[in-house]
Structure 1
Amino acid sequence: MPRRIILHAGFHKTGTTTLQATLRENRTALKKHIALRLRWHLKDLLSATRGYSTWRDPLTMLKVQDRFERMLNDLPGMPRRSLIISSEELCGHLPGRGDLMDYSAAPVLLYAFWDSIRQRFPKADILIYLTTRAPDAWLRSAWSEHVKSSGMTMDFAAFERKYAEAAELDAMVQEIASRVPAPVHHAALEDCADLPLGTADPLLDLCEIPLALRSTLQAPAPANTRLEDDILQQMLQINRTHDGVEARNAAKTALLNKVQDK
């Protein structure tokens, strides 16, 4: 049984990809202290959490619970270690996807995870760790992600107006803390900029990693960074003028290849 289980459940565009890369690249050094379940271990579960954030129906919630409990049941013994379960999609889709306006599914999903862990590992400490970002920066990054990876045709000004409430991540942290009976810790991306491992450092604090080991860990290069504004504008135009996912993706790939060849 793990002594502590930490749910790092987002939010999107708050350095989560780099945090997960930090854990993955240092997994051998951390192995005696930490076990990991990252987003590439959780594909079936995350398919269900994304679905629940979209539909909010009881059947999809049952899928979420079943897949999460199967993941817990498949864990090996890990006495005295901390288990980190990390994926921004534990909170569902990034707002702006389809009709999804905000992170209001997050408290429901996290309560379900807490309840499953409590029943499966009643003696383990259960913590929630959330990474946040200033609203303006989050909105810009979220819009950029949608333009790059979906068929988003909305310009930034319209996106900013429509999804301003979704960017209030500190308010959502408080909402989660009021509805899930577990300690909720959070760190802002901006406040972690000067830390050796960025937003991974507060998470490792929660795992009580010895300082001597911390000094040996390697920081990866930032991942999934925002594209330049002119490239995003060209991608936005592709989204507006190309019908079908295949044609759109092919045009974006050609654009990125052209930029890389310069």
Structure 2
Amino acid sequence: MTALPLFGSSQRVQPWTGPSRLVLHCGFRKTGTTFIQDVLRDNAAKLPEGFAASPRETLTRGWRRAVADDIRKRNRATARELQREAQLLRAAIAAMPAKTALISDENLFGTDVVAPDGATIFELAAHYIPMLETALAGAPLELVFYTRDMGKWLRSAWGQAVKRKGETADFDTWAARQPALDWESGIATIRAAVTSPVTVYAMEDDLAGEAPLMGRALFRHAGLDDATVATFDLPDASNTALPAGAMDLMRKLNGLGLSPKDRRAVSQLVEDNPEVFRR
């Protein structure tokens, strides 16, 4: 990846006046993030005093869009927009009336396993998260990631590419196009690029035991005790894997040259009616 100048050394760092603890749940994508965010969103009124959560909402939307634009274009204009959005994000977080802030957004470094320029999801994280660290200078930032079985993660990522990005290839063909990826070296790439503490949890650990709950390790990490979490209303699972027949149909639809708007509409129709493909 070619880095363009972003945050100049001449910038004055203002004292941090926001939450005394800032936990940034960065994904990874397809590791239960949507469920975690739904839990936080649905139970906002049950969070303890002094605790605030932002589950992939307006707080980070501008930064997400700036990153997506930068990945596509990579020029000085997109670099300036990243800087602007990073400073807006700093101001918004600093204004949160909380001692602990938990921000969950798996798309802070894009939505690709591999970007068009060949950068992997780990390289993208190592590129964009340090920009946020610079903007959030002085903030007590902690980074949290979830992983899952790599084979299952890749299959889920392929499914997302079919549903959201117009992928037409079957899984084996798609997987053969991907570079070799593994969690150990990927996380090491991120750790080497950032200065904030990094904590990694396994999705499988949250879903094991007598009381499985996706997100439990993150909730505990952020300071939500089990008694509080036990009062939470749990949402139905969303953005889940579709039946094989539905995936085959969507791949064929993706190859018809439909407009993005029409393709999304048909894709949503298929996603909303998975039972049709189980008969």
TM-score range (shorter-chain normalised) is 0.7 to 0.9
Q: Is the 8 A contact 2:32 2:215 kept in 1?
A: no
CA RMSD of aligned residues (A): 2.5
Matched residue pairs, number? 256
Shift of 1:197: 6.5
Shift of 1:20: 0.7
Unaligned runs of 5+ in 1: none
Aligned match of 1:105: 124
Instruction: Specify which of 132, 135, 148 is matched with residue 116 of structure 1.
Output: 135
Aligned match of 2:155: 140
Q: Is the 8 A contact 2:243 2:274 kept in 1?
A: no
Shift of 1:260: 4.8
TM-score by length of 1: 0.86
Q: Distance in 2 between matches of 1:230 and 1:144?
A: 12
Q: Distance in 1 between matches of 2:212 and 2:37?
A: 11
Change (3 A) 1:117 1:13: same
1:143-170 per-position Cα deviation (integer Å, ceiling 9, x unaligned): 11111122211221111111143x4234
Instruction: Specify which of 158, 172, 176 is matched with residue 157 of structure 1.
Output: 172
Unaligned runs of 5+ in 2: 1-17
1:104-124 per-position Cα deviation (integer Å, ceiling 9, x unaligned): 121121111112212xxx2x4
Shift of 1:96: 5.0
Q: Is the 8 A contact 1:6 1:126 kept in 2?
A: yes
Q: Is the 8 A contact 2:26 2:107 kept in 1?
A: yes
In structure 1, give the amino acid aligned to 2:206: C
Seq. identity, %: 24
Shift of 1:59: 3.4
- List 4+ stretches of structure 1 deviating above 6 A: none
Change (3 A) 1:250 1:163: same
Aligned match of 2:42: 25
Instruction: Specify which of 82, 103, 113 is matched with residue 85 of structure 1.
Output: 103
Q: Distance in 2 between matches of 1:206 and 1:250?
A: 39
In structure 2, give the amino acid aligned to 1:15: G
Aligned match of 2:245: 230
Shift of 1:7: 1.4
Change (3 A) 1:212 1:253: closer
- Greater helix fraction, Structure 1 or Structure 2: 1
Residues 158-237 of structure 1 aligned to structure 2 (within 5 Å) = 158-165=173-180, 167-194=181-208, 196=211, 198-237=213-252
Q: Distance in 1 between matches of 2:233 and 2:61?
A: 27
Q: Is the 8 A contact 2:220 2:226 kept in 1?
A: no
